[in-house]
Structures are given as C-alpha cells and as structure tokens.
C-alpha cells in the first residue's frame, strides 16, 4: 500500500486534475471540430417529382427510342421549403420510381421490353434506373447525380424499347422520389 504524505500527495492530485482537464479539452475540441466541419449539420429530405412522356403510334418496335430531354426543374423555392439551397446540396439519389400508363388496359407499362431513365447535362449521360418488362420491375442504380441537379442544363432522358406500338398516343407518367443530403441554410 502506498502512503503519500504532504507534497507528494498534493503533487499526485494536481497531476490527476491536469490529465482530467486535458482529456475534457480534447473531447470538447473534437465535438467543436465536428460542428465546425459541418459533419453534424448534414440532413436528408425527399422531394417527389413526376413528368410525362408520350408514346406515339409510329414508335419503332424492338429498338430504343429516346424522348426529348425533360429539365430536372428543381427550383430554389422548393429547396428553401426544405431549409437549404442548391449550393448546399451534397448528394441526390433516385430512391423510388414508378411508371404509370394513361391507358393501362390497351397499353400497360409491360408493353415495353425496357425503359431506361437517365440524367444528362449536354456532355455526359448516366443511368438512374432500368425497368424490365420481362419481370415487371425497376432496378435503381444508386447513382449520386448531384452534379446534374446543380447544372442548369441537367435533364432527365427516357429511352425505351417497345414490344408493340400503341394504336393511339399513350402518355406515361414517371413518378420519382429524390433523396437529398444537404447542409441547412444559416
């Protein structure tokens, strides 16, 4: 058993206090660094969007046809409602996609062999999702397309391969859920 007397005891107590204060300062520094770096301020939110694309009677069968570009169209008011802005967005991913036919009896979604939803900016194109008519399901790519959202030329493209052409024009609606990670407005 160690018995400390006088100055030795006081010296040991002071050393323990010094280490405790140093440990607390280090922990406080780590927490403030996380806050300063924005690590703890990043948050997620969803925006639901939809757009239509027509399939006309003269649609080529068995080969890919691409619709005209559809602007991504993310406005600053929508972002402000979510307490962020375009410059504060860190990631954007497509997390849900469903196609709906305006004539689900005569020309359902299964009338397509394949539908590909992509994003483009005039320079590059990247696939976000693929629909397979054979299994009637959508596969999402998981791609972060933040750079396309921030680009004023960013747009959606729909390419499809029809199994048959419709007798009349049929409109399809693409219903999307986009998941954003962003920093908040200050």
Q: HEC profile for 140-186?
A: ECCCECHHHHHCCCCEEEEEEEECCCCCCCEEEEEEEEEEEEECCCC
Residues 36 and 128 grouped into a single domain:
no
Residues 28 and 66 grouped into a single domain:
no
Domain count across the chain: 2
Cβ-Cβ contacts under 8 Å for 41 (sequence gap 6 or more): 35, 183, 184
What is the residue range of 150's domain?
42-182
Residues 121 and 139 grouped into a single domain:
yes
pLDDT of the residue at 9: 61
Residues 13 and 47 grouped into a single domain:
no
CATH number at residue 111: 2.60.120
Query: What CA–CA distance (Å, rounded) separates 115 from 99?
Result: 9
State the pTM of this model.
0.77
Q: pLDDT tens digits, residue range 115-139?
A: 999 999 999 999 999 999 999 999 9
Residues 137 and 81 grouped into a single domain:
yes
Residues 125 and 172 grouped into a single domain:
yes
Residues 50 and 124 grouped into a single domain:
yes
Residues 104 and 152 grouped into a single domain:
yes
Residues 17 and 71 grouped into a single domain:
no
Which of 164, 158, 128, 175 has its CA nearest to residue 54?
A: 158
Residues 119 and 164 grouped into a single domain:
yes
Query: What is the average pLDDT score of the chain?
Result: 87
pLDDT of the residue at 73: 85
Residues 72 and 108 grouped into a single domain:
yes
Residues 66 and 46 grouped into a single domain:
yes
Residue 55: band (very low, low, confident or very high) from pLDDT cuts 50, 70, 90: very high
Check residues 112 and 39 and name the one with the higher pLDDT: 112
């Amino acid at each position: 058993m160690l018995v400390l007397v006088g100055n030795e005891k006081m010296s040991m107590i002071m050393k323990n206090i010094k280490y405790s204060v140093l440990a607390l300062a280090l922990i406080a520094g780590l927490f403030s660094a996380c806050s300063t770096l924005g690590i703890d301020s990043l948050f997620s939110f969803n925006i639901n969007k939809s757009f239509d694309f027509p399939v006309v009677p003269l649609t080529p069968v068995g080969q890919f046809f691409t619709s005209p570009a559809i602007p991504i169209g993310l406005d600053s008011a929508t972002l402000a409602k979510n307490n962020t802005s375009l410059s504060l967005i860190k990631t954007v991913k497509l997390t849900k996609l469903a196609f709906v036919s305006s004539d689900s009896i005569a020309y359902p979604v299964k009338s397509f062999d394949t539908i590909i939803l992509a994003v483009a900016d005039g320079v590059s194109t990247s696939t976000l999702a693929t629909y397979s008519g054979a299994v009637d399901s959508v596969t999402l790519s998981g791609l972060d397309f933040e750079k396309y959202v921030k680009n004023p030329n960013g747009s959606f493209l729909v390419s499809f391969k029809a199994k048959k052409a419709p007798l009349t024009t049929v409109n399809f609606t693409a219903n999307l859920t986009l998941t954003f990670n962003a920093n908040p407005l200050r």
